Amino acid sequence: MSVRPPKPALKAHVVDWLVRHPNPVHRLRAGTKALELYYEPGDPHSHLAAQLLPMLSERLRIPVVVRVVDAPESALYPEADKQRQFAIDDARMVAPAYGLSFPAHAAASDAGARRQAAAVLLEAAAAGDFAAREAEVAETLFQGGRIAASAGSLDEAAVTRQLEANGRRRARLGHYLPGMWQFNGIWYWGVDRMAHLEAALRAAGLLQGDAPLLQCQPEAARLPDGLSAEAPLEFFYSFRSPYSYLAAVDVQQAQADWPGPIQVRPVLPMVMRGLKVPTRKRMYIVRDTYREAQRRGLPFGLVADPVGAGAERCLTSFTLAGDTTQQLALLVAAARAIWSQGVDVATDAGLRSVIEAAGMDWAAVRAKLDDGIDLAQAEANRQALFAAGLWGVPSFRYGPLVTWGQDRWWLVVEARRRLTAGG
């Protein structure tokens, strides 16, 4: 007989309120009404966002301000080398789909070159000709070149002061990454959250014209050569990742018609692998997931963090899932419980409700847990994730296509469409 999930704890209701309401302190700190872009030289997603500046300046009834920032601190940007290479590969693939440009043979720039670029772009931001100058600087950086030292008149101390001031402002407003737009104390990532930003600007009566700010045309994406319908779709997942919840729903919905095998590969949460996830990063992620869940009609908000025993018990239970259908059923049942029902899967009552919702045998799972936590499969999946050049989840590998984030599920779907269409 199935059991009802336990009632969510008070903490889950507190988190639910927090994710549904923007931080009023951030709104007050944002001050003068303007749209801000936090831009890091050499960051591919900052470069894509910067290409939207001329259009935004023409269509907005408020100023558009660029704040040049330094690289994120290591605690907020783990596996920096992997992230930088991924960003290059990602921008190369998605830029054409948004009608933007990115060099086909871009390479990561070194810290010295990025610092020189910052000096030039800080001056350009102050002078109001940022977009034109940025295009020149970005082309040089992504070709592995350096900006002439005489190109900027700011001395090293002035560059440091301005970068640090912009970084502090970003932190005080609750964020940590470059390539981010800030409006009214709320954050929007690069090209991927332009629809949410557009809605906010229209609601405030600040956007002129009826045309959308940006549209994605998947068929124009630059996908890698060598796609194959026989290749398995590998789906890397974490029970502690709210974005993984959204991705699991996507994969589950696509499974019945997927042309080849799907391999579900859950891993330990980042924080349980020694990687820090500071508070402002966690809060942005859950708020961003909430608005994406809202857009898709998925429940989200009552949260019971599964870090520690909860994640370990889910990973151990996963080893008993019979096939891909049941594996995905377990992922989605666990995600809904953790992220929308406030179910503590570290308890027997909480986990049992998930196991039975997935159509699995609770007695078998309970016996497996009595034998001890089993993370061998999760470790093998982590090694495969790193071998693919990735570090976090949700991630996908589909033959030569390797991508990260539920925002890139459309790339996987586009690859499948091309294979199904024969080109």
Domains and their CATH numbers in the chain: 31-203 (3.40.30.10), 233-421 (3.40.30.10)
Three-state SS at 39: strand
Q: Considering the entire predicted model, what is its pTM?
A: 0.94
For residue 4, give Cα distances in angstroms to 12, 343, 365, 384, 403: 17, 10, 17, 36, 37
pLDDT of residue 371: 97
Which uninterrupted H or E stretch holds 395?
strand 395-398
The alpha carbon of 306 is separated from its chain's Cα centroid by a whole number of angstroms, namely 20
pLDDT of residue 32: 79
Confidence at residue 1, expressed as pLDDT on a 0 to 100 scale: 52
Give which of 242, 336, 248, 250 is closest to 285, Cα–Cα: 242
β-strand pairing of 35-39 with 64-68: parallel
pLDDT, position 276:
67
Secondary structure element (H or E) that encloses residue 404, with its range: strand 401-404
Q: Which amino acid is at 253?
A: Q
Q: Cα(16)–Cα(245) distance, rounded to whole angstroms?
A: 16
Helix or strand (DSSP H, E) at 182: strand 180-183
- CA gap 60, 62 in Å, rounded: 5
If you compute the radius of gyration of the chain from its CA atoms, what whole number of angstroms results?
22
- Dist CA 119 CA 150 (whole Å): 10
Q: Which amino acid is at 276?
A: K
Query: What DSSP character marks residue 220?
Result: G
DSSP string for residues in 223-282: PPS---TTS-EEEEE-TT-HHHHHHHHHHHHHHTT-SS-EEEEE---GGGGT----HHHH
Residue 169: CB atoms within 10 Å: 18
DSSP states along 136-148: HHHHHHHTT----
pLDDT along the chain (423 residues), means of 10: 75 89 90 94 98 97 97 80 93 98 93 93 89 94 81 82 97 95 97 98 97 98 94 97 98 95 94 72 94 97 95 98 97 98 97 98 98 97 94 96 97 96 68
Euclidean distance between CA atoms 65 and 382, whole angstroms = 40
Integer Cα distance of 389 and 399 in angstroms: 13
